[in-house]
Structures are given as C-alpha cells and as structure tokens.
Amino acid sequence: MLKIASKLPHVGTTIFTVMSQMANEYQAINLSQGYPDFNAPQPLLDLMQKYLNAGMNQYPPMTGVAYLRQQIAAKVDKLYSCTVDSETEITVTSGATEALFVAIQATIEADDEVIVFDPVYDSYEPAIQLAGGRTIHIPLDDKFNINWNLVRAAVTSRTRMIIVNSPHNPSGSTLKAEDLDQLEALTEDSDILVLSDEVYEHMVFNSLAHESILRRPKLRERAFVVSSFGKTYHATGWKVAYCVAPVALSAEFRKVHQYVTFTTHTPTQWALAEYMENYPEHYLELPAFYQAKRDLFVEEMKDSRFKLTPSQGTYFQLADYSQISDKSDVDFTHWLTQEIGVAAIPISVFYDKPTPSQHVRFCFAKDDATIRAACKILREL
Ligand SMILES: Cc1ncc(COP(=O)(O)O)c(C=O)c1O
C-alpha cells in the first residue's frame, strides 16, 4: 500500500465549493459562494476578444504585462496618493489566492508566527502551514472589529507577519484609520510584515474611503497589498490579481511567483489594462453599484425574522437567524439550501476554536431579480 503523509491533514474541501455544489444539486438560489450572477462589462469582453484575435496568446513577462502594471500604478496613485514603481513593485498574479500564497511562501520560515483574525478567510492558514509557520488566531470582537489589546498581547519575538483583510470576508466590516494607526504603532521598529488582503477595495459603502495600507507610507514599506480583478470586474473566473510591495519584498515575491505560475493569461491582462485606462468609472462607480444591491437586500429582508446590520463593505451581508431556528449555522445552511431553496455560508467554519454562531453569510452580487426572489423565500421563514 502506498503511504502518503498529508501535509495538510486537517484540510478538507472549502466551504465555498461544498455549498455551491449543494446549491446546484438542490437547485437552490445560490447566495453562498462570492461571485456575481451577471456578466463582466461588454466592452471588457470585447477587448478580450480583440486581444485574443490580435495574437496576444504567448507568455507575457513574468511580472505581468507592462501596460497593465502601469494602469495599476496610475490607479493606486489616484486613489491612495501612493507612488508605486510599476517595474519593480507590482506583480500580476493568477488570482489573489496565488498572491496570498506566494507572499507567505516567500517570507515565512519554520516556526515563524503569523497573526490572523477569526473569522478568517480560509486560504491563509494552509499557506502558512505549508511554509512551516504557526498561525496565531485572534478573534474579532462581536462587531467584527480588531481588539488591538489582544494583538499587542499576542506579539512575540517570533511574530513575522500580520494578515489583515478589509473589507472583511465574511463579516463585511472595514478597517478604520484608527486601526491603521494601531497597526503602524505596533509594527514600527519591528521586522513584522503586513499582508493586506484588499480584494474588495472598491466595495466600501456609505461614502467611506477604503483605508488601504497603501495610504500609509510607514505601513507600505513592510506590506504586501493584494487586490483582485476578478472581484472588481465581475469576472471571478478569470483569476487575475496583483500584489503591490516595496522593491525588496517584490523581489522575494517574484522568486516564488515565477515557479508557482510563472505568469498569467495574456489576453486578459491586455484587456484589463485597456479597460482600466478607458473606463476608470467602472471602479469609481463600484461602491455605489454594490451599495444599491446591499440596500435592496436589506430592504427586502426588512420584514423577515433575520436580523441584519448593514454590511460596510464587500458583497456579503451577515444575517442573524436566531429568531428562526436554534440549529447550528452549519445545519441551518444545509437545511436552508436543501429544504428552503436558498444557499448561504455558515460563519463558524472560519474560526479556529469552535465558536457557535447563529450568523450566516449571503452574497448580494446578484441581479436584482435574483435578490428579490431569494428574499421572498427568506421572508417566509
Ligand atoms: C478575502 C478574499 N481573499 C482572496 C480571495 C481570492 O480571490 P481570487 O479569486 O482573486 O483568487 C477571495 C475570494 O473570495 C476573498 O474573499
């Protein structure tokens, strides 16, 4: 018998795949996994066709198509007043998942400690484990904000990285300027790196600014900042993202990136670059676009027995179902998908320590008709 020692013995199939498969099997309206049920903008699809037909189909540069890196640098400058060298500080990756994995493999060594916040996006810990590091889980408070006293208490001489995610999946909370002040004070004069997962950077509501790490020169000099075109351009299946990091960190990042994927689908990069240049309104209008969907979802759920605190960012909305059922959130989402016909994501699976939850996460990146149809069913519970 072939003996295989698993390097990730506790890892199963991600909850997103499990719930999407269940939604398909039971023909439920899928508000679980985070992707739109509408298409990417037509001019972007046309540009993709243009570059496919123009023969942009061979390997692009390992760091990404220069035109795209220049557009990213221009956007970062415009939005966050941050000057980034597109040659040495931006790397295009095959999804944010790749960028997060690569940043961790490039910098975390055996027994290094990496601080994460629960509920935590599920790709971080396996990457830390594969690098030989230790994940230190700190729970967010009951409003899904960071308790900085807990962070200060958790920092040791082995702390190598802190991973932040704002806007936050699954809760929809956002980091505020005061949080960045705290992070800055905590990491100053240390060798602690920051990995900032900002894939929902263009989905921050109520006219609030996205508090990117790139706004803070002191944090930027120790940070990998990751964003995802899949989220921004309604094309999650394209798996194109990028990482901004200072020269020395980018150099280490690229050493790993070149042996993980080497590079990313060429015509997509060209299409995204031209679209960014010609249609900046797309990302400028995205907060309002998704806020309208959030507001529709919250309004449609007003007369339901779910309790909602409107999401501050992302395209997710948490809902407390304690008035409807005392099932665990995992059982509740299974029941909801299989018997009621709406799929959602349980929250407890994003915690290291068993944390009973009566919250589920709904994705509102859906056509208004889909949102209305789902809410009509949910209102009857
Ligand atoms: C917080 C967070 N980080 C990273 C990712 C992965 O993004 P990508 O599809 O670009 O790999 C997601 C996708 O859901 C996410 O929610």
Could you tell which of 94, 144, 199, 229 is best to mutate to test the pocket of ligand 1, judged by most ligand atoms within 8 Å of the CB?
199
Query: Token pair of 19, please?
Result: 């719930």
Distance 381 CA to ligand 1 centre (A): 31
Within 13 Å and on the Cβ side, how many CA atoms surround 326? 0
Q: What is the CA angle 103-107-109, rounded to 5? A: 130
Residue 16 confidence (pLDDT)? 86
Residue 132 confidence (pLDDT)? 97
Query: Token pair of 5, please?
Result: 């020692």
Which residue's structure tokens are 């309208």? 292
Cα–Cα distance measured from residue 155 to residue 219, given in angstroms and rounded to the nearest whole number: 17
Q: Per the omega criterion (within 30 degrees of 0), is the bond before 167 cis?
A: yes
Could you tell which of 31, 35, 97, 144 is best to mutate to test the pocket of ligand 1, judged by most ligand atoms within 8 Å of the CB?
97
Distance 1 CA to ligand 1 centre (A): 38
321: CB partners within 8 A, 6+ apart: 305, 306, 329, 332, 358, 359, 360, 381
Domains and CATH numbers, the chain: 15-40+282-379 (3.90.1150.10), 42-280 (3.40.640.10)
CA torsion sign, 288 to 294 to 297 to 300?
negative
Q: Where are the beta strands (DSSP E) in the chain?
A: 29-30, 90-93, 113-118, 134-139, 159-165, 193-197, 223-228, 241-244, 316-320, 342-343, 345-346, 359-363
Please identify, by atom number, the ligand 1 atom nearest to the C-alpha of residue 240: 10
Cα–Cα distance measured from residue 174 to residue 167, given in angstroms and rounded to the nearest whole number: 5
Q: Please spell the DSSP secondary structure of 81-108, one letter per residue.
A: -----TTTSEEEESSHHHHHHHHHHHH-
Amino acid, res. 113:
E
Going residue by residue through the chain, which has 381 residues, state the pLDDT in tens, using 9 for 90 and above. Answer: 899 999 999 898 888 888 999 999 999 999 998 999 999 999 999 999 999 999 999 999 999 999 999 999 999 999 999 999 999 999 999 999 999 999 999 999 999 999 999 999 999 999 999 999 999 999 999 999 999 999 999 999 999 999 999 999 999 999 999 999 999 999 999 999 999 999 999 999 999 999 999 999 999 999 999 999 999 999 999 999 999 999 999 999 999 999 999 999 999 999 999 999 999 999 999 999 999 999 999 999 999 999 999 999 999 999 999 999 999 999 999 999 999 999 999 999 999 988 888 999 999 999 999 999 999 999 999
Any ligand 1 atom below 6 A from CB of 219: no
